[in-house]
Structures are given as structure tokens and as C-alpha cells.
A and B are shown apart, each in its own frame.
Chain A
């Protein structure tokens, strides 16, 4: 138990559906992240929020829309996804200076997404 929870753990959706992934951290951290983990590929950083402000958006398609209403919660809104978006989506949080780079990221268990 890392102090980062994600719901749901599994999700199956059609390409025309709209769904949301939720992440909650109980660690008092000031930064939160979304990663995509696909089979046989390195983890891809999707979004970074620091103090509830998005600071990184790594060329992610607009069908993925993040929301960070407060420092403890992070959402990933999904709509009109493609089958190639099927993956494990991991949330993480950390605490420290924005530019430090040395802080540990704590990961949730992930949401396994299947797009049909």
C-alpha cells in the first residue's frame, strides 16, 4: 500500500463511450502524474500537475483530458478512444521542489483499460 489509490482497477469501454479514471493520494504530496504503460514499451509520461497546475503535457491526444481539482485528486477523462489506447494507466505523486528532479514518485496500482 503506497498511499496512492486508483479506481476503477479494470475498465472495458467501447470507442464511443466516455469514462473517467480517478486517482487519490493520501501522502500530502504537491505533484501528481499520469503514465501510460503498454506492453513491451517504456512507461510514457502523459501529464504532470504541480500545485494543481498542469506543467507537462507530452503530446497526448486530446481524447485524454486530465483534471486536478485539488492536490489530493487527479482524474483522467476518456472519450472516443481507440483500441491502441488499451494499456495500464498509472497515477503517481511526489513531494518537493518543482525543478529538483530527485524526489521519489509513489505509484498507484493502475487501471487496466481495454478499448473495444
Chain B
């Protein structure tokens, strides 16, 4: 069975600092991996996804993530945080042939300090 672990339920960074949100997965087959963002009182929005093309995936709003099979990780980064990045971020995994079963992590709340 697949699972996702997000280390750190809360992360605080200063505006302009590097953002690093961690995600580790377990899957019996090469997975598809996703990062979603949820702003207050809204649903989830896709930031980026890995589908076995390039291991470095670029997403919206300046975010990117790197798939590292040896570390079973898919960490999300952004070089310079902006106040508007404050939100909750979810990592998710699905297996090939999994009939649309997305397994989500518990989420990481990102706070950006002025």
C-alpha cells in the first residue's frame, strides 16, 4: 500500500528566504507524485506533478520539486518566499493502475514572516 509522510506540520520562513517542504513516499511501483496547495476557505489546487518524465518538475508560482528515487522523496522548494505563499501544502501519491486512488499526506502549514 502506498503512503506519504510530510515532515513538519508547520514551517515558518521569512519573506525572501528559501522554502523547503519535505515529502517522502512509499510505493510498491514507480509512483505518480503531486503537490497541491490549499488557501484558506478554498479547495486544493495543483502546484506540480511528477509523471516519470524529468525528475525536476517546475510548477506554478515559482515552485519546483525533485523526484529522488533513491531517497523516496519529492521535496517542494521555492528560492524566495512571498507573503502570498502562506497556505497549506499537501503531497500526494498514486500508483500506476490504481484506479484514481490518491493518497495524501497530512499537510504542512507554511507561514511567511515579514
A70 within 8 A of B: no
B99–A98 contact, CB under 8 A?
yes
A45–B102 contact, CB under 8 A?
yes
Query: Total A-B residue pairs with C-beta atoms closer than 8 Å?
Result: 74
Instruction: Find B106's partner among A2, A33, A42 (CB 8 Å cutoff).
Output: A42
B114 within 8 A of A: no
Rounded to whole angstroms, the CA-CA distance of A92 and B44 in the bound complex is 9
A99–B97 contact, CB under 8 A?
yes
Count class of interface residues, chain B: 20 to 34
* Chain B 38-72 interface residues, beta-carbon cutoff 8 Å to A: 41-46, 49, 51
The listed residue with most A CB atoms (<10 A of its CB), out of B44, B100, B105, is B100
* Chain A 38-93 interface residues, beta-carbon cutoff 8 Å to B: 40-43, 45, 48, 50, 55-56, 90, 92
One of B12-20, B77-85, B88-96 at the interface: B88-96
Count class of interface residues, chain A: 20 to 34
Chain A: which residue is nearest B4 at the CB level?
A42
Taking A101-B94, A101-B100, A102-B32 as given, write out 16 further A-B residue pairs in contact, using a Cβ cutoff of 8 Å, ordered by the A residue number.
Answer: A2-B43, A4-B43, A31-B100, A40-B9, A42-B4, A50-B100, A56-B99, A92-B43, A94-B100, A99-B97, A100-B97, A101-B95, A103-B100, A104-B49, A105-B102, A107-B36
Question: Could you write out 13 A-B pairs with CB less than 8 Å apart?
Answer: A2-B45, A4-B43, A6-B43, A33-B100, A42-B106, A43-B44, A94-B100, A98-B99, A99-B98, A101-B100, A105-B44, A108-B43, A110-B42
Q: What residues of chain A have their CB less than 8 Å away from a CB belonging to chain B?
A: 2, 4, 6, 31, 33, 40-43, 45, 48, 50, 55-56, 90, 92, 94, 98-110
